[in-house]
């Protein structure tokens, strides 16, 4: 069975409900007045099986635990521990924080100055206890055991088996660097149930650049349901659309999760329960051709001046030769040139060359377009133009597009039948930067070995 394709299997009258109304049965009831603190005796509450824990998880950097903590739910028996839910709180604020299940039934996180950092909002006042359940759901429960607040209804980037996404709700990708949280992608089930789609998002404003994958229900979807057998969209008329194909991998002895990755790919993962270090294996994913996505605004799937390349379910963002990542720790963050641009004051065209990059394109937003032209003319006109950062040539039609910085929607793969020519300094020209041979290894194109002497 293909692990990658999503299927439109409409299974008439096979209506499998997600088991979302969990009863808060647990051998570990957490009573009102209990609290957790990263500096205290207890930093988390475990489920009775020990598979999940809720509490403070130290942020790990360079393999070392820091004094910064996520308020989170995680798989406690995998190595490393895998976060499945987290509160929207800056980890650097939580070093001396306290989480308390108040006697009024609210769960409140406060800092050392007693300021509220986070709380379980919208909880009714008859909460009698809390519990970390064995399915990964953390609940505040009433006297009858039924949930008044549950983490399953406030998903972050992950769904667990039995959990569902209701219309109007979304999963948002998480990627952190030292300074901020980047949420570049979203999976949204439209509030009116008309479609399920993946969107590219501006991380600062949260506004959408557009969708790059969607399922049109042509009727009303009532929930996106994740189960051992995969992701399904339940429709109003009791039909089911399979979003990921069922997989034989999904057995009882596997942990499972469905997560929207920081690369925009949504994956169903499995992890054997009997081997903590085996790691998560992708069972199914979508979309397949994420590098084909184009957006009018923003950088595209990868950052500005970089280009996207997909291998199996893995997305890479590469820099062109003589370009490097703005932040080497964040390859999705885009690339800058390692050299001084061609001067517009004096003619420096002879100091630059156009390096071919077959099957690479930065579509949209060219600032000039000629056709039909010969390849040599296309390159020459870019050489002479100090604003031209690259040209894209399509040899079957003789189309030539000039590109300036920053370039966006960069893509690479067999489906790209154009060649990009990127303008870089010849030999020692152009004011330094890393050697061409060193950069070449990072983008998978076989490059002639060019020895760059030290700049004068």
Instruction: Specify the stretch interacting with ligand NAG by CB under 6 A; choose among 95-103, 248-256, 323-331, 336-344.
Output: 323-331
Q: Which of 103, 124, 202, 417 binds ligand NAG (CB under 6 A)?
A: 417
Q: How far apart are CA 311 and CA 263, in angstroms?
A: 13
Q: In the complex, what is the shortest distance from the CB of residue 184 to ligand NAG, in angstroms, rounded to a whole number?
A: 18
Q: Does 237 bind ligand NAG (CB under 6 A)?
A: yes
Of 3, 4, 119, 282, which lies in the binding site for ligand NAG, with binding defined by CB under 6 A?
119
Alpha-carbon distance 183 to 199, whole Å?
A: 11
Stretch 154-183 residues interacting with ligand NAG (CB under 6 A): none
Q: Judged by CB under 6 A, which stretch of 37-45, 234-242, 310-318, 405-413 contacts ligand NAG?
A: 234-242
- Is there binding between residue 129 and ligand NAG (CB under 6 A)? yes
What is the SS3 string spanning 335-402? EEECCCCCCCCCCCHHHEEEEEEECEECCCCCCEEECCCCHHHHHHHHHCCCCCCEEEEECCCCEEEE
Q: Any contact of residue 218 with ligand NAG (CB under 6 A)?
A: yes
d(CA 233, CA 222): 8
Residue 49 contacts ligand NAG per CB under 6 A: no
Count of chain residues binding ligand NAG (CB under 6 A): 35
Answer for which of 169, 176, 208, 214 binds ligand NAG (CB under 6 A) is: 214
Determine the distance from the C-alpha atom of residue 68 to the mean position of all C-alpha atoms in its chain, rounded to a whole number. 22
Calpha distance 63→405 (Å, rounded): 37
CA distance 188 to 390: 36
CB closer to ligand NAG, 329 vs 449: 329
Buried b (16+ CB within 10 A) or exposed e, 18-40: bebebebebeeebebebebbbee
Near ligand NAG in 384-403, by CB under 6 A: 395-396
Residue 192 found at the interface with ligand NAG (CB under 6 A): yes
Site for ligand NAG, rule CB under 6 A = 10, 12, 27, 29, 61-62, 116, 119, 121, 128-129, 143, 145, 190, 192, 194-195, 214, 216, 218-219, 235, 237-239, 275, 277-278, 327-329, 395-396, 415, 417
């Amino acid at each position: 069975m293909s692990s990658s394709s999503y299927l439109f299997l409409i299974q008439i009258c096979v209506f499998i409900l997600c088991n979302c109304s969990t009863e808060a049965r647990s051998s570990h009831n957490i009573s009102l007045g209990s609290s957790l603190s990263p500096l205290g005796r207890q930093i988390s509450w475990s489920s009775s099986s020990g598979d999940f824990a809720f509490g403070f998880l130290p942020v790990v950097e360079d393999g070392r635990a820091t004094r910064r903590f996520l308020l989170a739910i995680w798989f406690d028996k995998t190595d490393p521990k895998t976060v499945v839910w987290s509160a929207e709180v800056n980890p650097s604020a939580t070093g001396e924080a306290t989480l308390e299940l108040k006697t009024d039934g609210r769960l409140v996180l406060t800092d050392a100055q007693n300021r509220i950092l986070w709380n379980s909002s919208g909880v009714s006042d008859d909460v009698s206890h809390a519990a970390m359940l064995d399915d990964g759901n953390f609940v505040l429960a009433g006297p009858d055991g039924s949930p008044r607040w549950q983490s399953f209804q406030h998903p972050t980037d992950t769904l667990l088996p039995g959990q569902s996404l209701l219309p109007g709700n979304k999963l948002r990708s998480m990627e952190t660097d030292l300074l901020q949280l980047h949420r570049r992608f979203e999976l949204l089930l439209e509030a009116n149930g008309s479609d399920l789609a993946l969107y590219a998002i501006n991380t600062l404003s949260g506004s959408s650049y557009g969708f790059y994958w969607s399922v049109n229900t042509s009727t009303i979807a009532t929930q996106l349901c994740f189960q051992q057998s995969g992701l399904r969209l339940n429709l109003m008329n009791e039909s089911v659309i399979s979003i990921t194909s069922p997989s034989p991998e999904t057995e009882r002895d596997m942990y499972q999760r469905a997560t929207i990755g920081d690369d925009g790919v949504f994956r169903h993962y499995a992890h054997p329960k009997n081997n903590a270090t085996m790691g998560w294996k992708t069972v199914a994913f979508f979309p397949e051709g994420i590098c084909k996505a184009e957006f009018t605004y923003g950088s595209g799937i990868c950052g500005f001046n970089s280009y996207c390349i997909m291998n199996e379910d893995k997305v890479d963002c590469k820099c062109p030769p003589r370009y490097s990542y703005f932040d080497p720790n964040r390859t999705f963050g885009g690339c800058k040139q390692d050299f001084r641009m061609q001067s517009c004051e004096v003619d420096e065209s002879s100091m630059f060359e156009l390096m071919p990059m077959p099957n690479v394109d930065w579509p949209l937003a060219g600032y000039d377009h000629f056709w039909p032209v010969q390849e040599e003319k296309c390159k020459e006109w870019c050489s002479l133009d100090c604003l031209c950062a690259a040209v894209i040539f399509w040899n079957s039609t003789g189309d030539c597009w000039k590109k300036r910085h920053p370039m966006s929607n960069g893509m690479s793969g067999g489906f790209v039948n154009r060649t990009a020519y990127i303008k870089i300094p010849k030999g020692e020209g152009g004011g330094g930067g890393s050697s061409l041979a060193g950069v070449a290894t990072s983008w998978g194109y076989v490059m002639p070995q060019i020895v760059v002497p030290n700049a004068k």
